[in-house]
Structure 1
Amino acid sequence: MSTTPIKIQVWTDFVCPFCLLGEAIIEKAIEGLEVEIEWMPFELRPYPTPTLKPEDEYLPRVWKASVYPMAERLGVPIQLPTVSPQPYTRKAFLGLQYAKQQGKGNEYTTTVMKAFFQQNLNIGEDQVLKNILANLGLNPAELDEFVNSPQANAQHDADLQYAKQLGIQAVPSLAVGEQFFSGVPSVQALRDAVQRER
Structure 2
Amino acid sequence: MARPRNQTQRRQDLIAATIDTAGRKGLRALSMTDVAEEAGLTRGAVLYYYEDLESLLVEAHRAGIERLGERRDTLVRGVDSSAEQLAVAIRTGLPDGPEDALMRLLYEFDVLAGTSQVHDELVEALYRRQLATYTSILQRGAASGDFAPRTSIETLAMNLVALEDAYGLHIVVGNSLITVEMAEKAMREAAAGLGAPPGDTP
- Tell me if TM exceeds 0.5: no
The TM-score, its normalising length taken from structure 2, stands at 0.26
Query: Rg: which structure is higher?
Result: 2
The TM-score, its normalising length taken from structure 1, stands at 0.26
Normalized per residue, the structure richer in strand is: 1
Normalized per residue, the structure richer in helix is: 2
